[in-house]
A and B are shown apart, each in its own frame.
Chain A
């Protein structure tokens, strides 16, 4: 039994390494992708959900909620991916000789890191809600935090005296 577990562990490791190589290539090929925060806020709005729950039969409501979760998950994945791109950009700018730029870059990196963690939590909550549509978990502060990230990236762009296409794009 233990032999099977050990061999399975080794095989999982090889698969994980392969996925990491593929992920790295993909990451190099993709830039940032835009997020429509207004649409995202609408998707996260729980009042809509309460209304639908009251109006629709249980099965129809579950079906609709799962559809909505699938779309929300796409947004959260995109936010997570953009936060990761900002983390990378922030880490590079932290080496800037100007202390105010380095400081702002550190702040941006911290914020992006927090958003990335919140995305993980949000994904877990959404997965739970997908499994049990009757659950209604607090969606967290992802949308306002993301807006604040955009502002911080824009400020960082101003400090570095470079056009900040990243802030406009995320």
Chain B
């Protein structure tokens, strides 16, 4: 198993980054602005440490398995809460858009829920064991999560909304991780456990990259919006001339 040392290294790196993220979140009192993301970050770190010890000193053989999937389930629920938190922050200063965006958000949830149900119905006949059933459920949940994050990015682009640095980082990091997780879970349910090792490396790597994205965006200073790039009069005239030429062509 040549991948085992790599998996161990990536897992340790992830745990270190999770710890750093938890410290950054707590030191910056991020719970005031982003209580759900702070909970998500601290919870992920605490569970990683707990799972590490469960794996090393398992009292019951299946304790790691159940611990892992319970942690995944709670993390997924928290992930949805984080998406909603970012959505509220993004639209909170635009009351005129909030109503329309909430309506589209609800319809997006309905459509994604239907897609998730389709995933469950199509994949569940092949899910003979508990592990496979859990994978199918995870795939369905990730479909909804990815879809909602796509909605967030799509809506902000369409409405021309300005993301704050931290919120953009939170959504981007979560989006990257969730998209890779969806791909690996889907491939795993198709290829079977033979692909587990490789896909596990990809999954852990994606999580580590997401942690770096979160840390990067949280620690980087916020860009100040300036109006310093106002065009000069001569530029305005140039533009007018260009348009006049364009029209008269």
Contact = CB atoms under 8 A, between A and B. Distances in A.
Interface of A: 1-3, 5-7, 9-14, 16-17, 19-21, 23-24, 27-28, 30-34, 36, 39, 42-43, 71, 80-81, 83-85, 87-89, 91-92, 94, 109-110, 113-114, 116-117, 120, 165-166, 168-169
A14 B180 CA distance: 9
A23 B240 contact: no
Nearest to A114: B96
A13 B149 contact: yes
Contacts of A117: 96-97, 100, 159
Given A39-B247, A116-B159, A31 B146 contact: no
Counting chain A CB atoms within 10 Å of each CB, the highest count among B176, B226, B231 belongs to B231
A10 B231 contact: no
Given A10-B182, A116-B159, A2 B153 contact: no
A115 B144 CA distance: 31
B93 interface: yes
B79 interface: no
A47 to B, nearest CB: 16
26 contacts: A3-B186, A3-B190, A7-B186, A9-B150, A10-B180, A13-B178, A14-B179, A20-B168, A24-B163, A30-B229, A31-B230, A33-B231, A39-B243, A71-B247, A80-B160, A81-B160, A87-B160, A87-B161, A87-B162, A89-B227, A91-B93, A116-B159, A117-B100, A120-B159, A165-B230, A169-B231
A11 to B, nearest CB: 8
Given A2-B119, A13-B149, A14-B179, A31 B229 contact: yes
Interface string B161-192: 11100001000100110111011001100100
Given A24-B168, A34-B236, A114-B96, A84 B160 contact: yes
Interface in B78-106: 93-97, 100
Interface residues of B, number: 55
A2 B122 contact: yes
Interface residues of chain B: helix, strand, loop or mixed (majority):
helix
Contacts of A110: 95-96
Given A71-B243, A116-B159, A6 B168 contact: no
A17 B229 contact: no
Output the residue of A9, A28, A33 with the most chain B CB within 10 A: A9
Interface of B: 93-97, 100, 115, 118-119, 122-123, 139, 143, 146-147, 149-150, 153-154, 156-163, 168, 172, 175-176, 178-180, 182-183, 186-187, 190, 223, 225-231, 235-236, 239-240, 243-244, 246-247
Given A2-B122, A10-B182, A80-B160, A109 B93 contact: yes
B146 A42 contact: no
A16 B154 contact: yes
Contact of B153 (A20, A81, A109): A20
Contacts of A6: 119, 139, 143, 182, 186
Per DSSP, chain A at the interface is: helix
B214 to A, nearest CB: 14
B223 A28 contact: yes
Nearest to B93: A91
A89 B246 contact: no
Contacts of B162: 27, 84, 87-88, 91
Nearest to B223: A28
A87 B150 CA distance: 22
Given A16-B150, A87-B162, A94 B182 contact: no
Contacts of B96: 110, 113-114, 117
A21 B223 CA distance: 14
A-B pairs, 6 with minimum CB distance: A31-B229, A84-B160, A165-B230, A169-B230, A88-B162, A13-B179
Contacts of A71: 243, 246-247
